[in-house]
C-alpha cells in the first residue's frame, strides 16, 4: 500500500510567493530573488511531504501563476501577440507574466490572456488560445527541471502533467474552421518528448491530470483519451502512469478509463463515492491496475472521518490486495489552506472548532495514518483511530453546531414561503405607484470606490487603533457624501455605497451565527491573488440586523428611494467552506432564512427597494448536466425563500456578473426578481438575446459600461447600447446601470461615467 498526493498549495505558508511576485512585478526585487523564493517553497513542500510519509510526492505542481499557463508555455502555444515580447525578453518568466497579466512597457502594449474558473472551484486558470494552423513545440523545461531539483534534494518525485485532452478542451479556438481537439495529433509528440526526457532523468511515475473526465464527454472526446494513453503506454512501457480525474466521478467515461493500460487510476471518493463499487465489480478493471483512493477531501477543511475512509480502503483491499491500493486526497490540496497549526488566535478560531478541522499539512498526516491503520487488522482499537473517532463524536454532538430553533423553522416552511403574493404584472403596477420612477430609471450596483482611505480606516479599526465611534463617524461621512453626490448626478435610485464592507461575503459571515474565520486560511484564487473564505460550521441564523443601520441612515439623507444591498444565500454558500455533515442545500436554506430576516427588517424600516446579489449562481452549476436540475431547484429556491416574504409594493432586485444565461434562463426567470441587473457592456448587449428569445417577463438592467477599466464612456456609446437593448426589449422594462459595483474604481472616473450614464438615460426618455 502506498500514499500519494496529487498536488500541494504553492503560495507558501505565509503567502511568500504572492509577496515575491508582486515585488518582482513592481521592480522591487530581482528575477533571481523571485526564482529563489519559488525554489525554497518547492523544497519546503517536498521535504514536508516526505517527512509526513507520502510515498508518491508530486512535482511540477508548483506554479508562479497557474498550471494551465505552465502547460501553454511547456508546449509552446504562445499566441502571436506575444511574439515580440518573446524575442525581447531575456527569460521565459517575463514572457509568462506578460501572457498572464498583459504588458505595458517601453512601447510594448499587449493584453493578457483570458482567465476563467477551474471547473467548479474558485481557482482561475489562464485559457489557452489556439489557431487553425497551431504548432506546438517543447519550450518550457519546467517539469524536467523541477524533477531534477527534487532529486538533488534526495526526493524522488512523481511529476504532474496536465493531460493533453483536458488541456485542449479547456482552451478556445481563436479562428473559425477547426475544432481544438483536431490539434491532438500535433500535441502528442511534444508530450512524448517530455516523457522521454523525464524517463532519462530517472522518473518512474508520472501523474496525468485529466479532470475533463468528470464532465460529459462526446464519444470523440472519449476516443481522444484512448488515443493519448494507449499511445503513451505503447511508447513508454516502463513508465508508470497515474491517471487522475477529480471533482466528481467518471460517470459515462468509466468504461473509457477502465480500458486504458495505466498503472493506477485515481478515484475521487468524496464527490464520487458510488463509483468504487462500480470499479471493483467491473470485469474491465485490469489485473495490474492499482486504484488511487481519493478519500481525504481536497476541497474542504474538515478532518477526515477515518471510519468511512477505512471502509472504502478495506473494501478495495479485500478485492485487489494491499499492493494495488494507493491512499490519496480526492484532488490536489491546492484548494485548501496550508496549515491549521498557524491558527493560534482562539478568539478567531475556537479550540473546539479547530479540533474538527484539517488543512493541507494535516491532510498529509491523515493519509499516513490511514495507511498505517489500513494495514493493521485491528485498527479499531488503535490510538490513531480512537483519537479520530473521539473528535468525530465531539463534532457530531457539539452544541455549537445544532440549533433546534433553526431546524424547527426549516421544518415549518411551506410552499407559499417561496412565492411572492402576486404575479409580477400586478406587483409592477403597485411598485410604480409607490416609487414613481421615470422610464429608464438609473441606479448603480451597490459599492462606490473603496479608496486607500477607506481601507486604512477599516484596518486601523480592526487592529484597535481606531475607536468604534470614530470609525462609524468616518463611515457616516463617506455615506453622506456619496448620497449627496448621487443626488447631484441625478441617479434615481441611490445606494449607501458599502463603505463598511470588506468583502460581500465576509461582511455577512461575520455577523451570522454558524460562521467562523481564520487568521491565515489563504487559498489561491488566481496568480498572486488569494482569498480567505469564511467557514460555515453550524446551523446559520441572524442574531441581529446586519445592514439596517447603514441603509436607514442613507435613506434618512434623501427623499429618493435608497436601495438596500444584501448578498444572496447561494453566493454566500459558494464562496465559503461549507460544513459537510448535512446537504449543501440545507445549509443554503438556513442562510436564505437569515437573509429573509434582514430583508423584512429593511422593509419594516421603510426601504422599498432591496437588492439581493447572486453573482455565484452560475458557477455553482454541477459539472454534469444531469445534475443541473436538482441544483437549480434548491439554489433558485433559496433565493426565492430569501426574498418572497415582502409586500407586493416592495421591489426586489438581483445582480449577476459575467454570466452567460442561455442555458439557465428558465431558472433566472423562476427567481422572479422584479429587476435583474447583469453585466452586458463588453458583450455589446449580446447577452440580452437570451432574455429576448425566452420572452423574459420581468424588468432588466443591462450594464451599460465596463467597470473593469478606468475609461469613461461617451454618451453616444451608452445611448447606442440602450437603443440596442430597446430593440430587443420594450423601454418599459429597462433600467440603466453600470455592469457591476464600483469599488475598484477611482472617484473621478466614477463621477464622470455616472454623469454620462444619467444624461444618456435622459436622452433615451426624450425619444420615447
Ligand atoms: N453589490 C456588490 C457591489 O456592488 C456586487 C458585487 C458583485 O456582483 N460581485 O460591489
Ligand atoms: Zn457584479
Provide φ and ψ at 106, rounded to 5°. 45, 50
Atom number, ligand 1, closest to the C-alpha of residue 447: 4
Report, as an integer, the average pLDDT of 273-299.
97
Residues 228 and 265 in one domain: yes
pLDDT at 317 over 90: yes
pLDDT at 283 over 70: yes
- In this prediction the pTM is 0.96
Report, as an integer, the average pLDDT of 537-558.
98
pLDDT at 262 over 90: yes
The alpha carbon of 560 and the centre of ligand 1 are apart by a number of angstroms equal to 21
Q: How far apart are CA 94 and CA 111, in angstroms?
A: 14
Q: 107 burial class (0-12, 13-18, 19+ CB within 10 angstroms)?
A: exposed
Reported as a pLDDT band with limits 50, 70 and 90, residue 569 is very high
What pLDDT, on a 0 to 100 scale, did the predictor assign at position 105?
Answer: 85
Residues 291 and 322 in one domain: yes
Ligand sitting nearest the alpha carbon of 742: 1
Per residue in 389-444, pLDDT (tens digit) is 999 999 999 999 999 999 999 999 999 999 999 999 999 999 999 999 999 999 99
pLDDT at 660 over 90: no
Closest Cα partner for 54 from 15, 5, 101, 95?
5
3-state secondary structure 459-528: HHHHCCCCCHHHHHHHHHHHHHHHHHHHHHHCCCECCCCCCCCCCCCHHHHCCCEEEECCCCCCEEEECC
- Which of 122, 454, 741, 743 to mutate to test ligand 1, by most ligand atoms within 8 A of the CB atom? 741
Instruction: Please indicate if the annotation marks 17 as binding a ligand.
Output: yes
Cell, residue 578: 461549507
Cell, residue 309: 475512509
The alpha carbon of 504 and the centre of ligand 1 are apart by a number of angstroms equal to 7
Instruction: Supply the range of the domain harboring residue 558.
Output: 415-446+501-512+538-767
ipTM here: 0.99
In a domain, 93, yes or no: no
Residues 438 and 314 in one domain: no
What pLDDT, on a 0 to 100 scale, did the predictor assign at position 210?
Answer: 99
In a domain, 469, yes or no: no
- Which of 504, 563, 570, 703 to mutate to test ligand 1, by most ligand atoms within 8 A of the CB atom? 504
Per residue in 92-142, pLDDT (tens digit) is 999 999 999 999 888 888 989 988 899 999 999 999 999 999 999 999 999
In a domain, 247, yes or no: yes
In a domain, 313, yes or no: yes
Contact 731, 439 (CB under 8 A): yes
Residues 420 and 330 in one domain: no
Instruction: Please indicate if the annotation marks 657 as binding a ligand.
Output: yes
What pLDDT, on a 0 to 100 scale, did the predictor assign at position 700?
Answer: 97
Residues 232 and 312 in one domain: yes
Residue 653 Cβ contacting ligand 1 at under 6 Å? no
Residues 435 and 354 in one domain: no
Residue 361 Cβ contacting ligand 1 at under 6 Å? no
The alpha carbon of 383 and the centre of ligand 2 are apart by a number of angstroms equal to 50
What pLDDT, on a 0 to 100 scale, did the predictor assign at position 659?
Answer: 67
In a domain, 526, yes or no: no
Query: Which residue owns the Cα nearest ligand 1 atom 6?
Result: 741
The alpha carbon of 371 and the centre of ligand 1 are apart by a number of angstroms equal to 46
Residues 385 and 434 in one domain: no
Residues 67 and 141 in one domain: yes
Report, as an integer, the average pLDDT of 338-359.
97
Residue 614 Cβ contacting ligand 1 at under 6 Å? no
Q: 179 catalytic, yes or no?
A: no
Residues 425 and 322 in one domain: no
Whichever domain contains 246, its CATH number is: 3.20.20.210
Percent of the chain with pLDDT over 90: 95
Residues 188 and 157 in one domain: yes
Contact 58, 8 (CB under 8 A): yes
Cell, residue 23: 515585488
Residue 657 Cβ contacting ligand 1 at under 6 Å? yes
Residues 190 and 326 in one domain: yes
Our count of domains for the chain comes to: 2
Reported as a pLDDT band with limits 50, 70 and 90, residue 362 is very high
Residue 618 Cβ contacting ligand 1 at under 6 Å? no
pLDDT at 205 over 80: yes
Contact 426, 564 (CB under 8 A): no
Residue 494 Cβ contacting ligand 1 at under 6 Å? no
In a domain, 435, yes or no: yes
CA angle 448, 522, 746 (to 5 degrees): 20
In a domain, 66, yes or no: yes
Q: 204 burial class (0-12, 13-18, 19+ CB within 10 angstroms)?
A: middle
In a domain, 104, yes or no: no
Q: Which residues of 294-313 are buried (b: 16+ CB within 10 A; e: fewer)?
A: bbbbbbbbbbbbbeebbebb
Residues 298 and 431 in one domain: no
Least confident of 43-47, 106-110, 291-295: 106-110
Ligand sitting nearest the alpha carbon of 658: 2
Kindly report the average pLDDT of the chain as a whole number.
97
Instruction: Please indicate if the annotation marks 15 as binding a ligand.
Output: yes
The alpha carbon of 447 and the centre of ligand 2 are apart by a number of angstroms equal to 10
- CA 395, 401, 404, 409 torsion-angle sign: negative
Per residue in 151-184, pLDDT (tens digit) is 999 999 999 999 999 999 999 999 999 999 999 9
Residue 415 three-state SS: helix
Q: How far apart are CA 22 and CA 697, in angstroms?
A: 47
Amino acid at each position: 500500500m502506498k500514499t500519494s498526493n496529487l498536488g500541494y498549495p504553492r503560495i507558501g505558508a505565509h503567502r511568500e510567493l504572492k509577496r515575491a511576485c508582486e515585488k518582482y512585478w513592481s521592480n522591487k526585487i530581482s528575477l533571481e530573488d523571485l526564482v529563489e523564493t519559488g525554489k525554497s517553497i518547492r523544497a519546503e513542500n517536498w521535504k514536508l511531504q516526505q517527512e509526513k510519509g507520502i510515498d508518491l510526492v508530486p512535482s511540477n505542481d508548483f506554479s508562479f501563476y497557474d498550471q494551465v499557463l505552465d502547460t501553454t508555455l511547456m508546449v509552446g502555444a504562445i499566441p502571436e501577440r506575444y511574439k515580440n515580447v518573446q524575442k525581447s525578453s531575456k527569460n521565459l518568466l517575463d514572457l509568462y507574466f506578460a501572457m498572464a497579466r498583459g504588458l505595458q512597457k517601453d512601447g510594448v502594449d499587449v493584453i493578457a490572456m483570458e482567465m476563467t474558473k477551474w471547473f467548479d472551484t474558485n481557482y482561475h486558470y489562464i485559457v489557452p488560445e489556439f489557431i487553425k494552423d497551431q504548432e506546438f513545440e517543447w519550450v518550457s523545461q519546467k517539469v524536467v527541471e523541477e524533477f531534477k531539483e527534487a532529486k538533488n534534494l534526495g526526493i524522488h518525485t512523481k511529476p504532474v502533467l496536465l493531460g493533453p485532452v483536458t488541456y485542449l478542451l479547456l482552451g478556445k479556438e481563436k479562428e473559425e474552421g477547426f475544432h481544438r481537439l483536431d490539434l491532438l495529433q500535433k500535441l502528442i509528440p511534444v508530450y512524448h518528448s517530455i516523457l522521454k526526457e523525464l524517463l532519462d532523468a530517472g522518473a518512474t511515475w508520472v501523474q496525468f491530470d485529466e479532470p475533463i473526465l468528470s464532465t460529459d464527454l462526446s464519444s470523440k472526446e472519449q476516443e481522444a483519451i484512448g488515443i493519448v494513453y494507449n499511445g503513451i503506454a505503447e511508447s513508454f512501457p516502463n513508465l508508470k502512469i497515474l491517471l487522475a480525474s477529480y471533482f466528481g466521478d467518471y460517470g459515462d467515461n468509466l468504461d473509457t478509463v477502465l480500458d486504458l493500460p495505466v498503472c493506477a487510476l485515481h478515484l475521487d471518493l468524496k464527490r464520487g463515492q458510488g463509483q468504487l463499487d462500480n470499479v471493483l465489480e467491473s470485469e474491465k478493471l485490469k489485473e495490474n491496475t492499482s486504484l488511487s483512493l481519493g478519500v481525504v477531501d481536497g476541497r474542504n477543511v474538515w478532518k477526515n472521518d477515518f471510519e468511512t475512509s477505512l471502509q472504502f480502503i478495506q473494501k478495495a483491499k479485500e478485492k485487489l490486495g494491499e499492493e494495488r491500493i494507493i491512499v490519496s486526497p480526492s484532488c490536489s490540496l491546492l484548494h485548501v489552506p496550508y496549515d491549521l497549526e498557524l491558527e493560534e488566535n482562539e478568539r478567531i478560531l475556537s479550540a473546539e472548532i479547530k479540533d474538527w478541522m484539517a488543512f493541507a499539512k494535516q491532510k498529509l498526516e491523515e493519509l499516513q495514518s490511514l495507511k498505517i491503520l489500513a494495514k493493521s487488522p485491528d485498527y479499531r482499537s488503535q490510538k490513531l483511530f480512537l483519537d479520530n473517532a473521539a473528535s468525530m463524536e465531539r463534532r457530531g454532538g457539539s452544541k455549537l453546531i445544532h440549533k433546534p430553533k433553526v431546524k424547527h423553522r426549516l421544518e415549518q416552511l411551506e410552499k407559499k414561503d417561496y412565492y411572492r403574493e402576486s404575479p409580477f404584472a400586478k406587483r409592477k403596477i403597485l411598485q410604480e405607484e409607490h416609487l414613481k420612477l421615470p422610464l429608464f430609471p438609473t441606479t448603480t450596483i451597490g459599492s462606490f470606490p473603496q479608496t486607500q482611505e477607506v481601507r486604512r480606516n477599516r484596518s486601523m479599526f480592526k487592529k484597535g487603533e481606531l475607536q468604534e465611534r470614530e470609525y462609524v463617524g468616518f463611515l457616516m461621512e463617506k455615506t453622506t457624501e456619496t448620497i449627496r453626490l448621487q443626488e447631484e448626478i441625478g441617479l434615481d435610485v441611490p445606494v449607501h455605497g458599502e463603505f463598511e464592507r470588506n468583502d460581500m461575503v465576509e461582511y455577512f459571515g461575520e455577523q451570522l451565527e454558524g460562521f467562523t474565520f481564520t487568521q491565515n486560511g489563504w487559498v489561491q484564487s488566481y496568480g498572486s491573488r488569494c482569498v480567505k473564505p469564511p467557514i460555515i460550521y453550524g446551523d446559520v441564523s441572524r442574531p441581529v440586523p446586519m445592514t439596517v443601520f447603514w441603509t436607514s441612515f442613507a435613506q434618512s439623507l434623501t427623499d429618493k428611494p435608497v436601495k438596500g444591498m444584501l448578498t444572496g444565500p447561494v453566493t454566500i454558500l459558494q464562496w465559503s467552506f461549507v460544513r459537510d455533515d448535512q446537504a449543501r442545500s440545507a445549509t443554503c436554506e438556513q442562510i436564505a432564512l437569515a437573509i429573509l430576516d434582514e430583508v423584512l427588517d429593511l422593509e419594516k424600516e421603510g426601504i422599498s427597494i432591496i437588492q439581493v446579489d447572486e453573482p455565484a449562481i452560475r458557477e455553482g452549476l454541477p459539472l454534469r448536466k444531469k445534475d443541473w436540475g436538482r441544483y437549480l431547484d434548491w439554489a433558485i429556491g433559496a433565493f426565492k425563500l430569501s426574498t418572497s416574504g415582502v409586500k407586493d409594493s416592495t421591489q426586489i432586485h438581483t445582480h449577476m456578473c459575467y454570466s452567460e444565461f442561455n442555458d439557465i434562463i428558465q431558472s433566472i426567470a423562476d427567481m422572479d426578481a422584479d429587476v435583474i441587473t447583469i453585466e452586458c457592456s463588453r458583450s455589446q448587449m449580446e447577452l440580452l438575446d437570451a432574455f429576448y428569445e425566452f420572452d423574459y417577463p420581468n424588468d432588466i438592467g443591462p450594464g451599460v459600461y465596463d467597470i473593469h477599466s478606468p475609461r469613461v464612456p461617451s454618451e453616444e456609446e451608452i445611448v447606442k447600447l440602450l437603443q440596442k437593448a430597446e430593440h430587443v426589449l420594450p423601454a418599459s422594462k429597462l433600467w440603466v446601470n453600470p455592469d457591476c459595483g464600483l469599488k475598484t474604481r477611482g472617484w473621478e472616473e466614477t463621477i464622470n461615467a455616472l454623469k454620462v450614464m444619467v444624461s444618456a438615460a435622459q436622452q433615451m426618455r426624450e425619444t420615447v
